[in-house]
Chain A
Amino acid sequence: ILNVEQSPQSLHVQEGDSTNFTCSFPSSNFYALHWYRWETAKSPEALFVMTLNGDEKKKGRISATLNTKEGYSYLYIKGSQPEDSATYLCALLPSGNTPLVFGKGTRLSVIA
């Protein structure tokens, strides 16, 4: 059974602070890594699909990096805003035709 770990489980930050959290996965089973942002009562929103070691992707104030050799990805949020409050999920795609394996998510609360 593949294990995808996310830390921390939850996080409270002040508005304007920058923050980051981690997704760890088995480096021997890697095809792609997906990041999703999940707000309450909404559909999880796809943020990034990362495939190459050393990848760095950016979307506004959110960016992500990938290290496939050591099996981790970081998600960074610069200058957090209350609207960034959500659960951030990472999911491992072990091969091209297999389902995603999800971590438990990091719940971010940004306090105004």
Chain B
Amino acid sequence: GAVVSQHPSRVICKSGTSVKIECRSLDFQATTMFWYRQFPKKSLMLMATSNEGSKATYEQGVEKDKFLINHASLTLSTLTVTSAHPEDSSFYICSARFPSGDTQYFGPGTRLTVL
């Protein structure tokens, strides 16, 4: 299957700092990427849909100024958690939609811990 990388896999930061997470589709071009967040014992919660060359579409309740998404190329989307606070500590995972639209391929996720 296709490969999606995510970096970093784990990050620990101080409260108030910003953290950038990268999601790359390594062997295909993805016009659409998705960012999810997983709370303990919960399902993957969609945060936003990232479309190459246009503004991301955020789900209800997700602050767009807090979670900045940039999809500047067909192989890279970034999520920046701005002014992170302990409640932002979570597991963030991205996926990229294959051009045929049938399947999404996931990155391995990023564990963010805000102290």
Which positions in A face B, CB cutoff 8 Å?
A: 4, 32, 34, 36, 41-46, 49, 89, 96, 99-105
Given the interface contacts A4-B43, A102-B44, A104-B43, does A43 sit within 8 Å of B105 by beta carbon?
A: yes
Task: Say yes or no: is B108 at the interface (Cβ < 8 Å to chain A).
Answer: yes
In chain B, what residue has the closest Cβ to A103?
Answer: B43
Selected contact of B44 from candidates A32, A43, A89, A96, CB within 8 Å: A89
Given the interface contacts A99-B49, A103-B43, does A43 sit within 8 Å of B106 by beta carbon?
A: yes
Task: Tell me whether B101 and A96 are in contact (CB under 8 A).
Answer: yes
CB neighbors of A among B63-110 (8 A) = 93, 95, 101-109
Task: Tell me whether A100 and B104 are in contact (CB under 8 A).
Answer: yes
- A-B pairs, 8 with minimum CB distance: A44-B106, A104-B43, A102-B44, A102-B43, A43-B106, A43-B108, A99-B46, A46-B103
- Interfacial chain B residues near A49, Cβ < 8 Å: 102-103
- Interfacial chain B residues near A4, Cβ < 8 Å: 43
- Interfacial chain B residues near A41, Cβ < 8 Å: 108
- Interfacial chain B residues near A44, Cβ < 8 Å: 93, 95, 106
CA distance A89 to B102 in the complex (A): 16
Given contacts A42-B108, A43-B109, A104-B43, 20 further A-B contacts (CB under 8 A): A36-B106, A41-B108, A43-B4, A43-B106, A43-B107, A43-B108, A44-B106, A49-B102, A49-B103, A89-B43, A89-B44, A96-B101, A99-B34, A100-B46, A100-B104, A101-B46, A102-B44, A103-B43, A104-B41, A104-B42
